[in-house]
Chain A
C-alpha cells in the first residue's frame, strides 16, 4: 500500500546521469522531510539521503536530492555499476500517523 509514487525503472550508461521522482501529497512530502534508500536483494537497505537533501557520511556527492511542494527527486550523476539496485523514497504521513514508502525505482546501468 505505497502512498508515494515512483517510476518503476530508470537506466543509463556508465558516466551518464539519471533522475527519479517521488510523488506524494500534502500529508507527507508536503509537510515532512523525505529520505532515500538503495536496496540490493538480500542486503540491508542503505540510507542515501535524509532531511530532503542531506547525505550521510560515506555517500558520494554524485548523489543529490531535492523537494518541491509534494514531490521529491533523486539524481545520480557519473553513473557507475555499483549504482544498480532498487531505490525507495520515504516520508512521515500525518494523516496515517506513520511512515510511508515509495513504490520503488529499479536503476539499471546499461
Chain B
C-alpha cells in the first residue's frame, strides 16, 4: 500500500521560503510523477507542480518564478520550495502520485493527508 506523508513548518513569515517534504512508503520514488497540490482556506484545489522520477519538472505557470521541486532518491522523498511567500500562499498543501509512466496519466492516487501552512508574521 502506497502512502504519502507531508512534513514541514506550519508557519512561515511573509517574504520567506516555504519548504515541504513528502515521504513516500510502499513504492519507489524512482518511477511515476510526483505532485504538489494546495487548497487555500475555503477555496478549491490548485495544482502546484510535479517532478518526474527522472528529475524533470513541470510547474504551474502562476508559481513558476518562485517554485522549485526536487527528488531525494536516497530517502524516497520529494520536496518543494516556494520563495517570497505572502498571505495568499496560506493553504493546506498535499503531495500526490500520478501513476503515469512515460507521460502524466491525468489522475492522482494516492494523496497525503495534507499539511496546513500559514504565512504570517
A residues within 8 Å of B by Cβ?
Answer: 1-2, 32-35, 37, 39, 42-47, 50-51, 56, 88, 90-92, 96-104
**What residues on B are CB-neighbors of A46 within 8 Å?**
111
Task: Assess the A56–B109 pair: CB atoms within 8 A.
Answer: yes
Assuming the contacts A96-B61, A98-B61, A99-B35, asked whether A35 and B107 have C-beta atoms less than 8 A apart, the reply is yes
How distant is the Cα of A29 from the Cα of B74 in the complex, in angstroms?
A: 37
**What residues on B are CB-neighbors of A39 within 8 Å?**
45
**What residues on A are CB-neighbors of B45 within 8 Å?**
2, 39, 45, 88, 90, 101, 104
* Known interface pairs A92-B104, A96-B61; 18 further A-B residue pairs with C-beta atoms within 8 A, sorted by A's residue number: A2-B45, A33-B106, A34-B106, A42-B114, A45-B45, A46-B111, A50-B106, A50-B109, A88-B45, A90-B108, A96-B60, A98-B49, A98-B58, A98-B61, A101-B45, A101-B46, A102-B44, A104-B44
Q: Is the interface of B mostly helix, strand, loop or mixed?
A: loop
For chain B residues 68-116, which have a beta carbon within 8 Å of chain A? 94, 96, 104-114
Task: Assess the A90–B107 pair: CB atoms within 8 A.
Answer: yes
How distant is the Cα of A30 from the Cα of B45 in the complex, in angstroms?
A: 21
Task: Assess the A45–B94 pair: CB atoms within 8 A.
Answer: yes
What are 21 A-B interface contacts by the 8 Å CB criterion?
A: A1-B62, A2-B44, A2-B45, A32-B106, A42-B113, A44-B113, A45-B108, A45-B111, A46-B111, A47-B110, A51-B107, A88-B44, A96-B60, A96-B61, A97-B61, A98-B47, A98-B58, A98-B59, A99-B37, A99-B47, A100-B47
**What residues on A are CB-neighbors of B106 within 8 Å?**
32-35, 50-51, 90-92, 99
Expressed in whole angstroms, the minimum distance between the Cβ of B41 and any Cβ of chain A is 11
Closest to A44 in B: B111
Expressed in whole angstroms, the minimum distance between the Cβ of B17 and any Cβ of chain A is 22
How distant is the Cα of A91 from the Cα of B104 in the complex, in angstroms?
A: 10
